[in-house]
Every structure is written in C-alpha cells, then in structure tokens.
Amino acid sequence: MGRGYDSNCYLIVDEKTVLIDTGTGATDSLRERLKPWAGEIDLIINTHAHFDHVGGNRLFDAEVAIHVDDASEMESGRLYGTSELFGESASSKADVLLREGDVIETGELSLEVVHTPGHTPGSVCLVSSRGHLFSGDTLFSGGSFGRTDLPGGNTEELLMSLERLKNTRFEYLMPGHMDCVKEGMKHLEAALELLRRSL
C-alpha cells in the first residue's frame, strides 16, 4: 500500500519478479519493504507516466515497460505536468513498449495489457490470469476513478475505457491508490455510474 503520495506498488514473485508501479521514490518506506527483492526485480511495469507511479523506477536495476503512448512523457521527465505538481522530476528509459493485447508471462501467472486512455493517453490496466485487475489510476475502489484535468487527460476517453473494462474478467480490483477489494466489477459499475452523472 502506498504511503503519503506514493502509488500502491504490487510485487509479483514468480519465475520472473515483476513490480507494478514504483511510487514517488521519495520515501524510504518502499525501498525498505522491497529490500529483500531489490536486486531481483526483472521487470517494472508502469501503469502510466505520472510521477507518483514512476518516480521510484530509479531505485531498481530492472527493465521498464510502459504503454507506447506514455513512453515519451516518462523518458523526458515531463510526466504530464506531475513533476511540477510534486516539485520533483524523474525520467526513466522505456525498455519495453506495451500495446493493447500484449501478454506478459511471469511464470505461473500472465498479465494481459488493456489500453485504457483517459487519465493519461497511455494508461493501461493489467488483467491477471488469476482474476486481478491492476487498474493504475483508471479505476479506484469505492466507485471512483482517476482525474482527467491534468495534461493529456480526457474524460470521454476515460468513460469509454471504463466501459471496455466491463468486457474483462476480474474478481480482485488492485488500484493505484486506495484499498484492494473483492467483487471488483461492482466497484467498476459504481465508478461508471458516477462518471456518467458527472458528464
């Protein structure tokens, strides 16, 4: 669970060790908690190029994967204006460019990439073969969703992305902030209703 402004970070220990998002990198808590695996992380997957999700990439010597549409914002360190928002910048190289439908095999588990623009143009959700939806800032528990008022944000696209998520199968919602919950589809329905009403 992320602390302060850190995003949630999810560590998958399988044949490959994969870390989904890395927080701001500005707090010691993530580094401390991930210390036992720090040298063993093979791949970082960033759900999108905001500072509070990619800032910690620099703490790890691992390949970095991000959707092709968010790669240049991450590499340049512009991060859709979130560098200014947090008063800090971080850039990292995109080693793997993700696209809709890509599947990342970690060993026992596989993660399918669903492109869900709206919060940022290259936001992705990852659907695991065991029924997890790693949703970044596209969808949160409690029926809320990511902001669209930052550069690159688009509310209509977010609505379409949330609607597309209804076609995916998942039980556990693992969002970029806030709690992980079961019965994820109910949280998706609630977010869709709220977003439709706000348009």
Query: In whole angstroms, what is the distance from residue 151 CA to residue 109 CA?
Result: 34
Q: Which is nearer to Zn ion, 136 or 184 (CB)?
A: 136
Per-residue burial over 97-111, b = 16 or more CB atoms within 10 Å of its CB, e = otherwise: ebeeebebebeebeb
Give the β-pairing of 96-98 and 103-105.
unpaired
CB-CB contact of 164 with 116 (8 Å)? yes
Q: How far is the CB of 100 from Zn ion (least distance, A)?
A: 19
Site residues, Zn ion (CB under 5 A): 50, 137
Nearest one of 86, 51, 79, 49 to 64, comparing CA atoms: 49
Q: Which is nearer to Zn ion, 47 or 106 (CB)?
A: 47
CB-CB contact of 97 with 67 (8 Å)? yes
Q: How far is the CB of 34 from Zn ion (least distance, A)?
A: 21
Q: How far is the CB of 93 from Zn ion (least distance, A)?
A: 20
Q: Which is nearer to Zn ion, 50 or 187 (CB)?
A: 50
Q: How far is the CB of 123 from Zn ion (least distance, A)?
A: 8
Q: Which is nearer to Zn ion, 82 or 106 (CB)?
A: 82
